[in-house]
Amino acid sequence: MVRGRVIALSVTDVRFPTSSDQHGSDAMHTDPDYSAAYVVIETDATDGLKGYGLTFTLGKGTEVVVCAVKALAVHIVDREFEEIVGDFRRFYRQLTSDGQLRWIGPEKGVVHLATAAILNAVWDLWAKQEGKPLWKLLVDMDPQKLLSCIDFRYITDALTEEEAYDMLKHGKLGQKEREEQMLKNGYPAYTTSCAWLGYSDQQLKELCVKALKDGWTRFKVKVGADLPDDIRRCKLVREMIGPDNLLMLDANQRWDVQEAIDWVSKLAEFKPLWIEEPTSPDDILGHATISKALAPLGIGIATGEQCHNRVMFKQFLQAKALHYLQIDSCRLGSVNENLSVLLMAKKFQIPVCPHAGGVGLCELVQHLILFDYISVSASLENRMCEYVDHLHEHFKYPVTIKKAAYMPPQDAGYSTEMKEESVRQHRFPDGGIWQKLISGQNV
Ligand SMILES: C[C@H](O)[C@@H](O)CC(=O)C(=O)O
Ligand SMILES: [Mg+2]
C-alpha cells in the first residue's frame, strides 16, 4: 500500500578514490574516481522507510549533478507519494519538463542524471513500501500499470503503447517458470574487472587466473589508447582464457569512424564478440558504418552506457547501428525510461546486455535485467549482464554472484542503499577518507 507525503530530499556527493589503483580506467577516463550523487527521500509515514537513489558520476562531475538534484527537488518535496507513483507518467513528465531546467537538457546530460538519481530513490521507496525487491515489483505488476509509468512521447513511431501492452501480455506466458529458473541459476554475467586499461600485464594475468578459478567464462578488455599495447593485452588475455571463452572489447569512444574500423580489424584475430563504444556515443550513423564494416569479421557493436535517452536508443535501433544494447540504470530516466528501451529492444530483437561499470550500477541494473528476462525478452541468447568487482562492500544489500551469475536479490527495494558509515567516510570533501587524502596522509 503506497503511503506518506514526501517531506524531505537530501543529496550527498560521495566519492571513492578508485583512480589511485586505476580501477575503472579506460582510454578516455584515465583517472576515474567512482562517485555518486546519492539521494535520500523521506516521507511522513510512520513506517520509517526511506527511498535511496543514486546516479553514477566520476569525481568532480558529482558536484554539478548534486546542484541539479537540488534544483529539481521542488517537484517532489511536499507531494503525496500516491500522487507520484499513482500517475508516474505524469510525474516523470513534470520532472523532465521543468520549463527552466529542461533548457539544459532536455532529457540528457547533468539534468537527466539528476532525474535518474531522484527517480531511482522513488522506485526504491515504492518497492520497499510494497515489501518486494524491485525486480519482483515489476514482474508482478499489471501490464497496464507498468505502461502507465512510461513516457511514450517521441518513440511512438517505433513502438506504440498498444504494441508494448501486447508484448507485456505475451510476456506473462511462462513467467513463473522463468522466475524459478532465475531464482535457481541466476542471470549470466561477464566480468570487466580483469582488464582495466591502467592495469599492468602482471595484474591482468593474476586477475584472469583468479576469475577463471571462480568460474568466469566471459571477459571484457579495455582498448583504444595504443594499438601495440592492445595487441599485446588481447593476446595475453586470449591465451589465458582459451579459445572457447568469450572476449569483448571496449574503446570508450576513443576513435573516429574509419580509425575504429582500421584499429578493430587489427584486433580481429583475437575473436572479440563485440567492440563497445568505438566512437562518439551520439554518432548513430557512424556506428552503423562501423557495424557494416566489421560484420564480415564477425564483430558486433555494443553501446548504450552514454546513450542519453530513449530517443537515441530508438534511432540506434532503427538505423541498425548496434547488436548489443547496453542500458544503464543511472543514465536514463530511471526504471521508467529503461522500461521503454527494454520494450523497444524486444521489438527490434536486439539483445540487452546492461552496463554496470561504476559504483552501485551492478546493484541496480540486476533488477532491470531480471525483469527483462522474466517478463519481456524470455531469452538468454547472446545476453549477459556486466559485473565489476568493486565497492560492493559499501552497500547494505550488495549483489550476490554465484557461478558467474547474478542471483536475484531478496530484500525489498532497489538495492540502492549505502551503508551510513561508508557515506560518512566518503562524503566529499569532508569525509574521513578525503580529509586524509587532502592532507596528504596515506589511506
Ligand atoms: C569509467 C568507467 O569505469 C567505464 O570505463 C566503464 C565502462 O565503460 C564499462 O564498464 O563498460
Ligand atoms: Mg563500456
Is residue 220 part of the annotated active site? The answer reads: no
Nine-digit cell at 199?
Answer: 592495469
- Cα 88 to Cα 85: distance, rounded to the nearest angstrom: 5
Residue of minimum CA distance from atom 3 in ligand 1 = 24
Among 29, 193, 273, 301, the mutation site with the greatest number of ligand 1 atoms within 8 A of its Cβ is 29
Note whether 404 and 217 are within 8 A (CB). yes
Residue ranges and CATH numbers for the domains of the chain are: 6-131+427-437 (3.30.390.10), 166-406 (3.20.20.120)
The residue annotated as part of the active site, out of 75, 220, 222, 367, is: 222
Among 15, 21, 25, 26, the mutation site with the greatest number of ligand 1 atoms within 8 A of its Cβ is 26
- Cα 41 to Cα 51: distance, rounded to the nearest angstrom: 5
Alpha carbon of 350 to ligand 2 centroid (Å): 18
Residue holding cell 558520476?
A: 57
The residue annotated as part of the active site, out of 23, 136, 308, 355, is: 355
- For the CA of 192, the closest atom of ligand 1 is 10
- ipTM of the complex model: 0.99
- Cα 435 to Cα 441: distance, rounded to the nearest angstrom: 9
Q: What is the pLDDT along the chain (443 residues), one digit of tens a residue?
A: 899 999 999 999 999 999 999 999 999 999 999 999 999 999 999 999 999 999 999 999 999 999 999 999 999 999 999 999 999 999 999 999 999 999 999 999 999 999 999 999 999 999 999 999 999 999 999 999 999 999 999 999 999 999 999 999 999 999 999 999 999 999 999 999 999 999 999 999 999 999 999 999 999 999 999 999 999 999 999 999 999 999 999 999 999 999 999 999 999 999 999 999 999 999 999 999 999 999 999 999 999 999 999 999 999 999 999 999 999 999 999 999 999 999 999 999 999 999 999 999 999 999 999 999 999 999 999 999 999 999 999 999 999 999 999 999 999 999 999 999 999 999 999 999 999 999 987 66
How many CB atoms are closer than 10 A to CB 343? 28
- Cα 126 to Cα 420: distance, rounded to the nearest angstrom: 21
pLDDT in the model for residue 441? 76
How many CB atoms are closer than 10 A to CB 296? 9
Q: Around ion ligand 2, which residues have CB less than 5 A away?
A: 250, 276
Q: Residue 40: enclosing H or E segment and its boundaries?
A: strand 34-43
pTM: 0.98
Nine-digit cell at 48?
Answer: 520509517
Nine-digit cell at 45?
Answer: 509515514
* Backbone φ, ψ for residue 154 (5° rounding): 80, -5
- Cα 192 to Cα 176: distance, rounded to the nearest angstrom: 31
Check whether the bond before 429 is cis (ω within 30° of 0).
Answer: yes
Note whether 407 and 401 are within 8 A (CB). yes
- Cα 240 to Cα 212: distance, rounded to the nearest angstrom: 9
- Cα 421 to Cα 393: distance, rounded to the nearest angstrom: 11
Alpha carbon 174 to its chain centroid, in Å, reads 27
Task: Write out the DSSP string of 66-102.
Answer: HHHHHHHGGGTTT-BHHHHHHTHHHHHHHHHT-TTGG
- Radius of gyration from C-alpha coordinates of the chain: 21
Alpha carbon of 199 to ligand 1 centroid (Å): 14
Alpha carbon of 27 to ligand 1 centroid (Å): 10
- Cα 416 to Cα 38: distance, rounded to the nearest angstrom: 9
In Å, what is the CA distance from 290 to each residue of 231, 253, 321? Answer: 20, 13, 8
Taken as a whole, the chain contains a residue count of 443
Residues with CB under 6 A from ligand 1: 24, 26, 29, 32, 192, 250, 252, 305, 355, 357-358, 386
pLDDT in the model for residue 442? 63
